[in-house]
Structure 1
């Protein structure tokens, strides 16, 4: 497969992944479909891992990748592939940001009311052996909002998976773009005949 076509394909895959990351991040603001006050929302949600890391920092590289893969575009050359490589590194950074913040959100657990009317993070600083992720009976400690633990675990896990997939695609595009810089993008038979 030509490096240009591969870049376009990678860009096409990153757009829906970025959109899913943005949606998952927005849903984290509404645990169990409830609207909460600012101070009742888990801290890691406010770092916008899906909106910034998995979304905005992914859309720009994906656009450049698509442009590098379109025949006749100004980016479908060695210089364009070098620019796509630089932007793919930005995509890797965004994906890593999404992964790290999501992993911390999973590790710390949600912010919730444990029954005394005050919101806190009851699962923070637990060891791996006693982690709430492996012991679902602990989930009942969170009384309000209902199902907040499940909500956070599922959505942060989705963000972690999306970030990982985006990182893999972005790293593969760095390699692909490097090959495109060194070897050039493929030309169609018609263009080769004109040269």
Structure 2
């Protein structure tokens, strides 16, 4: 596959992934579909890792990837170089999303265990020392908002998966952009037979 076509293909894949990351991050602000006070929402939601990291930062290289491999030798090489540099930035945005999602999963949700105070059950020893992620019987410790553990685990896991996929795609584009910058983008040239 030509480096220009590969670049456009990766760019087209990054758009829906970025949109899904933005939507998943926004949904984290409404645990179980409820509107809560900002101080009752899990801390790691406020780092905007889905909106900025896996969303807007990844959109920058995606837009450029669609234009990479255009007409003209200089435009191809310069476009691929810029695409490579922005893809590296997109890679770091996706890794940021992965790190914040992992930390959000590790910390667990902010919830009311029944006494009216919003706490992190993992920090107050409501949960055992083993990870709550693999022991679903402990999830019902959180009384309010209802199903907040499932809500957070699902959305943080989606963000983690999207960040990982975007990181791989951006890394592929860094390598593709390097090849395109050094070797140029391949184009079919039509040869006409001269009689």
TM beyond 0.5: yes
Indicate how the Cα distance of structure 1 residues 129 and 113 shifts in structure 2: closer, same or farther if over 3 A, else same: closer
List structure 1 runs of 4+ shifted beyond 2 angstroms: 71-76, 124-129
Indicate how the Cα distance of structure 1 residues 73 and 57 shifts in structure 2: closer, same or farther if over 3 A, else same: farther
- Provide structure 2 residue ranges, at least 5 long, that are not aligned to the other structure: none
User: What pairs up with 1:13-32 in 2 under 5 angstroms?
Assistant: 13-32=13-32
Indicate how the Cα distance of structure 1 residues 128 and 146 shifts in structure 2: closer, same or farther if over 3 A, else same: closer
What is the DSSP-based 3-state SS (H/G/I as helix, E as strand, rest coil) of the residue aligned with 1:10?
helix
Tell me the C-alpha RMSD between the 2 structures. Answer: 2.1
- Provide structure 1 residue ranges, at least 5 long, that are not aligned to the other structure: none
User: What pairs up with 1:1-195 in 2 under 5 angstroms?
Assistant: 1-69=1-69, 71-72=70-71, 76-124=75-123, 130-190=130-190
Shift of 1:85: 0.4
Shift of 1:73: 7.8
Shift of 1:129: 6.0
CA distance in 2, matches of 1:61, 1:125: 42
Shift of 1:72: 2.7
- Contact map agreement 2:73 2:184 (CA 8 A) in 1: no
CA distance in 2, matches of 1:75, 1:12: 23
CA distance in 2, matches of 1:61, 1:88: 5
Count of equivalent residues: 191
TM-score (norm 1): 0.92
CA distance in 1, matches of 2:147, 2:123: 18
TM-score (norm 2): 0.92
CA distance in 1, matches of 2:124, 2:185: 51
- Contact map agreement 1:50 1:159 (CA 8 A) in 2: yes
- Contact map agreement 1:67 1:76 (CA 8 A) in 2: no
CA distance in 1, matches of 2:124, 2:60: 37
CA distance in 1, matches of 2:28, 2:12: 26
CA distance in 1, matches of 2:167, 2:128: 26
- 122-131 or 110-119, larger mean C-alpha shift: 122-131
Shift of 1:75: 8.2
Shift of 1:141: 1.1
